[in-house]
Amino acid sequence: MFQRLAGLSLAVLMAGPGLAQQAADAVAPEAGTQGVTALSNPEIAAAYAARAAGQPVQAETWMVAAANPLAVSAGAEVLRNGGSAADAMIAVQVVLGLVEPQSSGLGGGAFLVWYDAASGELTTLDARETAPLAATPTLFQDETGEPLGFFDAVVGGRSVGTPGTPALLQEAHRRWGKARWPDLFQAGIALSEEGFAVSPRLAGLVESDAERLARRPQTAAYFLPDGSPVPAGAILRNPAYAATLRALATEGAAAFYSGAIAADIVRAVRDGQGNPGVLSETDLALYQVRERPPVCVSYRGHDVCGMGPPSSGALTVGQILGMLESYDLAALGPGSADAWRLIGDASRLAFADRGRYMADSDFVPMPTKGLLEQAYLAQRASLLAGDDALPEVAPGSPKWDHAQLLADDVSIELPSTSHISIVDGQGNVLSMTTTIENGFGSRLMVHGFLLNNELTDFSFRTHSDGVPIANRLEPGKRPRSSMSPTIVLKDGAPVLALGSSGGSRIIGHVAQSIIAWLDWGMNIQEAIALPHAINRFGTYDVEEGTEAEALKAPLEALGYEVSVRQLNSGLHAIAIADGLHGAADPRREGIALGK
Ligand code: GLY
């Protein structure tokens, strides 16, 4: 079915009027805005054109793919001047924090996967937010022990964890940087001071969240000037963010984790304007990025590698692919309901294990190896051998050294977040997913950036029927994530960098893109634009307004409950084979750009 949609028709179908408008903007920009300055760049116009045609952007030497053209442009400038992928990432992240402030920024956290061309080694860095040392496991419960409503928990200081992103920028630069650190902030500083054109997506999100944004004076003053949501195309300046970037450029991440910025973060969280949190200056001073062992699974002769705990990303993507390895998805093809039955039920089984076993392994013993052991995956895969949807799924019993009784998780995750993929001129590859959790995070704005609400990625309940939940909140612990920054290798060499936004649907977005690319032979732009069908907990979500809707009846006939809905991924990918092939998700505003 989906194969009929190759090329232009698929991209246009997925893009809808938003992309068509952006593509038009790229060739006929409105005069006088920063955003338009970048969109007038012929390279960027070419990137839009390639994406609209369902083709990857082609390059030979370096490439960057991310969620906003201004951020991509800043990263491309660094790479053009000989900077490393780590240098480019810093420039991209700094600009994303300005132009896409609802999704990621200095007030949040991230996971980074790095392939080092010189050594051939893979490194994963964990810059996840930590729970404050003064936080208690019942932080998100009311006085009767019942979980708070999601937004009652999110909005205010209560949900704010210690940010990790500034420390990650510094750590990545310390390990792999070539450019001068202060230079990497200049594009962000200039855009903050001169202003940038508010994108249609940002304007739409501000409008739909206006009531919550209006509750916090600093946040309201920025996003709702004169009391109304800032419209698309308006020029927004953020001098407070420029000052923060200048401090980081001059003093390094210490300017964030101590001194005036740290004190003001703590003040904002503890005041919390009706919903205070417990973050302290000690939490900020103690924050550290952690290097973790990469988690890899073998799939169709490739190694699919990513971020281990506290992310559930690589383990859950790995379990899905590991279970599907013994089924011939290529023969079934992307139009086959049976292929989607296999993918959907493999995903349900993996999510059952995720809910039971996955959390911050510094705090909770985890069967990390057992979850990806071949014999275990083969036993779980055998459950898929029938013809219909599994009537129910339950966690399995992987091998582990420190077995303990755990209850299933009940945490809530809504889609947000941003993904950056970069290949530099030396062949280093970076895949980084970055977030402040919910759109606009905690809605608290300090020094020109938003603070995260990452603590709501913990389970609000600590126990179920007296049995502890692995992802319960504990002081200093990192909340379980679904972020899945991934690098795929073939014979030890990188062939694909990718990742997505989308809350816990990230896992399905990444797994399905890999299947579309490896099993169904799509080019990487077609693979990430493929209409989504996602199953996590039983209900099959199929993407509204796309050919995936045609799966509704056959999936219902197999026994699934099907929900037709928007599925806003933010996939950004670079395939590496005879040059570089970049892809940007038509559901977002990003591009891929290379040379
Ligand atoms: N807050 C989204 C995630 O970490 O998965």
pLDDT (tens digit per residue) in 221-252: 999 999 999 999 999 999 999 999 999 999 99
Mean pLDDT of the 437-445 span: 96
pLDDT at 410: 58
Q: pLDDT band for position 53 (50/70/90)?
A: low
Pairing between strand 463-464 and 533-535? unpaired
CA 41 / ligand 1 centre spacing (Å): 33
pLDDT at 461: 92
Q: What is the DSSP letter of 257?
A: H
Nearest atom, ligand 1, residue 457 CA: 1
Nearest atom, ligand 1, residue 479 CA: 4
pLDDT at 406: 75
- CB-based pocket (< 6 A), ligand 1: 413, 417, 435, 437, 457, 481-483, 503
For atom 1 of ligand 1, the residue with the nearest CA is 437
CA 332 / ligand 1 centre spacing (Å): 32
Ligand 1 mutation pick, 419, 432, 435, max ligand atoms within 8 A of CB: 435
CA 481 / ligand 1 centre spacing (Å): 4
- Max CA distance (Å), the chain: 64
pLDDT at 49 over 80: no
Mean pLDDT of the 36-44 span: 49
Catalytic residue among 417, 435, 456, 462: 417
Q: Which of 151-160, 266-275, 393-402 has the highest mean pLDDT?
A: 151-160
Q: Does residue 433 carry a catalytic annotation?
A: no
CA-to-CA separations, 474 to 141, 157, 359, 380, in angstroms, rounded: 14, 17, 11, 31
For 540-560, the pLDDT digits (tens) are 999 999 999 999 999 999 999
Q: pLDDT band for position 43 (50/70/90)?
A: low
Mean pLDDT of all residues in the chain? 91
Q: Which amino acid, 240?
A: A
Please state which of the ranges 41-50, 194-203, 263-272, 349-358 shows the lowest mean pLDDT: 41-50
Q: pLDDT band for position 9 (50/70/90)?
A: very low
Mean pLDDT of the 146-167 span: 96
Q: What is the DSSP letter of 459?
A: B
pLDDT at 543: 96
Residue 591: closest CA among 71, 232, 59, 25: 71
CA 483 / ligand 1 centre spacing (Å): 6
Nearest atom, ligand 1, residue 482 CA: 5
Q: Residue 545 is encoded by which pair of tokens? A: 């307004």
CA 304 / ligand 1 centre spacing (Å): 20
Q: pLDDT band for position 273 (50/70/90)?
A: confident
For atom 3 of ligand 1, the residue with the nearest CA is 481
Q: pLDDT band for position 42 (50/70/90)?
A: low
| Angle formed at CA 532 by CA 531 and CA 538, multiple of 5 degrees | 150
pLDDT at 259: 98
For 317-355, the pLDDT digits (tens) are 999 999 999 999 999 999 999 999 999 999 999 999 999
CA 192, 193, 194, 198 dihedral sign is positive
pLDDT at 322: 98
Contacts of 217 (CB under 8 A, 6+ apart): none
pLDDT at 407: 75
